[in-house]
Amino acid sequence: MITTMLLAATAIFFYMNLVFVLALIRQDNSIVDIAWGPGFVVVAGLTFFTGGQTGPLPLLILALVTVWGGRLGLHLWLRNRGRGEDFRYRNWRQTWGKWFILRSYLQIYLLQGLMMFIISLPVQLVNATGGRGVFGAVAAAGVGVWLVGFLFEAVGDFQLLRFMRHPAHPGRVMRYGVWRWTRHPNYFGEATLWWGIALIALGCPYGYLGLLSPLTIDFLLLCVSGIPMLEAKYRDHLEYQQYRRTTSAFLPWPPRPWKDGMK
């Protein structure tokens, strides 16, 4: 297991350094968002093919992570084409000044690499010990939880992208489809699907360590760089503030009445 974890850490380190160099060349740190999902595919594939496990759990985890990471990377690449650097990275570029490159390397790339290592723990555990794992009721429930999360994220991303590309919607707030039930269905979906992967990993030796994965991503999305940053961006947006008063921030919940008559 230690060998697998060292392999994953080494792969993540070199992967994030490659992404950092590409971002310097392009002068756009948004590339790190596109690289996030595929990074997990790299970890899953490398630890799977070097782990020598032949049980059902490693194959299942490889498939689920590849589907999720590949879709997310493709979606963000298509969404970000021609948009320039994301507002978060533009703000840091101005705020950090002459220290921007060093702080970007440490606070964006290496930090995200560390988060990738922790969040991918269930994947590492399954590929290190998955040949002895059991696909039982808990793993089956994990697949169901993963599917719910994946659908929320994928459907939410698709609905938002279609809404944003409509010529009548510049500056408007997406509050239809799954966005009626939660202001951040993509974040809810990502957090949920990692709970599913952690449940699948529970069938392996030391699988309980994989629970660090969804706990970490929940903390990041709810308290650090997910919801707080986006909510702050729209704090002066009147329609969004009305949306905020009527719609759950994270967990899907029936919306309260929309009171100002907007349609």
pLDDT tens digits, 63-116: 999 999 999 999 999 888 877 888 788 888 888 888 999 999 999 999 999 999
- The pLDDT, as a whole number, for residue 59 is 92
Stronger pLDDT, 169 or 246, i.e. the higher one? 246
Residue 28 has pLDDT above 80, yes or no: yes
Residue 261 has pLDDT above 50, yes or no: no
CA distance 119 to 146: 15
Count CA atoms within 13 Å of residue 124 on its CB side: 27
What stretches of the chain show up as alpha helix (H) in DSSP? 2-26, 31-51, 56-80, 87-96, 100-104, 111-119, 121-129, 137-165, 185-201, 212-219, 227-233, 238-246
Token pair recorded at residue 224: 């650090």
pLDDT confidence tier of residue 138, bands split at 50, 70 and 90: very high
Q: Among all chains, which residue has been given the structure tokens 């059902």?
A: 56
Residue 142 has pLDDT above 90, yes or no: yes
Amino acid at 173: V
Amino acid at 85: E
Sign of CA dihedral 119, 121, 122, 127: positive
Angle at 69 between CA 229 and CA 120, to 5 degrees: 80
Stronger pLDDT, 83 or 211, i.e. the higher one? 211
Residue 260 has pLDDT above 70, yes or no: no
Angle at 215 between CA 214 and CA 220, to 5 degrees: 95
- The pLDDT, as a whole number, for residue 263 is 42
| pTM for the full predicted model | 0.90
